[in-house]
Amino acid sequence: MKRLAVIGGGAWGTALAIVLAPRFERVRLWVYEDDVAQRLQAERENDTYLPGFQISENISVSSDLGIAVEDAEVVLSVMPSHHVRSVYAQMLPSLSESMVFVSATKGLEVHTILRMSEIIRLAGTRFPLRVAALSGPTFAKEVARGEPTALVVASPDDDLNRRIQAAFSGPTFRVYTSQDPIGVEIGGSIKNVIAIGSGVIHGMGFGHNVTAALITRGLAEITRLAVAMGGRAQTLAGLAGLGDLVLTCTGELSRNRMVGIELARGRKLDEIVGSMRMVAEGVKTTDAARELARRFNVEMPITEQMYQMLYHGVSPREAIRRLMERSLKGE
């Protein structure tokens, strides 16, 4: 594989373009905002979303989707979850049967409760699309700096997994394979919900005990949901489950954790989200995760209280009280 298209020029998309550029002869990076695309092409730095990191000369930048995906062998989508369906609809005339698709978006489509790989497959109206999901514990800045990173690529098609693994892996970017896209995508999505709760804990001044308990019980409910949907419990003990959950719940760079911190400090959700340049996927995912729990009859108490806090104005302190005073049971 020699030609890569990265669709989404936020911090994560730019970081992926930077780290993968040495493995491809040509990388095209699609950026939605025309002014950002022009500056990035000219200055070789994404001053809006990932300042301080230069992109290499084999990366070309465009705000034209047709140009971005033309002749690509791999299409790597990194746009926010609520834009995936519309962006693929726009790309469809430019896609070919020879392309393979990788989704690095962590989220669920709220009104359909679909995973990102499912939405992408639905775009294959002219021919079936070969789609894999890429997830794991990753902060964009650390990846762009070349710090060692481990992820997992997941698809039922193991040949596709191995091709992506070989194409993407390098000295600082290690990719494992999995045939469980359900577990990988659910882990990568719902961890953002739990991370909001972790931020609330930090913002209220609580210590490590409660954070550890939240991560552990959060992993339990994520695993219950993934298994109910057909995923594998062992997947959630891996990079896309426990690994990503720990990172997002404890890392200072976590946008979802920051939402929780600000909520605990008394700020309103609309104000917090409106002040953020980049998307905190957990806000929308909380609604979708609650609906999935209802559909699959899975108990997800942390997710439920995050939903009540985000969408019904329950105070952070009251949400914690409700969790602590639930009926006693075995682990």
| 253-280 residue pLDDT tens | 899 999 999 999 998 888 888 887 766 7
Structure tokens at 49: 């979303």
Domain 3-179 has CATH 3.20.20.70: no
Separation CA 159–CA 183 (nearest Å): 19
Where in the chain are the domains?
A: 3-179, 182-324
**Whole-angstrom Cα distance, residue 259 to residue 282?**
9
Q: List pLDDT tens digits, range 302-328.
A: 999 999 999 999 999 999 999 999 988
- Residue-wise pLDDT for 101-142, tens only, equals 999 999 999 999 999 999 999 987 788 899 999 999 999 999
What is the CATH code of the structural domain delimited by 182-324? Answer: 1.10.1040.10
The residues that bridge with 59 in the sheet, in sequence order, are 27
Return the active site residues: 191
pTM of the entire structure? Answer: 0.94
Specify the pLDDT at position 331: 85
DSSP string, 234-294: GGGGSIIIIIHHHHHHH-TT-HHHHHHHHHHTT--HHHHHHT-SS--HHHHHHHHHHHHHH
Query: Which tokens go with 315?
Result: 């105070």
Give the chain's mean pLDDT. Answer: 94
Q: Per-residue pLDDT tens for 154-163?
A: 999 999 999 9
pLDDT tens figures, 186-221: 999 999 999 999 999 999 999 999 999 999 999 999
User: What pLDDT shows up at residue 283?
Assistant: 85
**Bridge partners, residue 177, by sequence:** 153
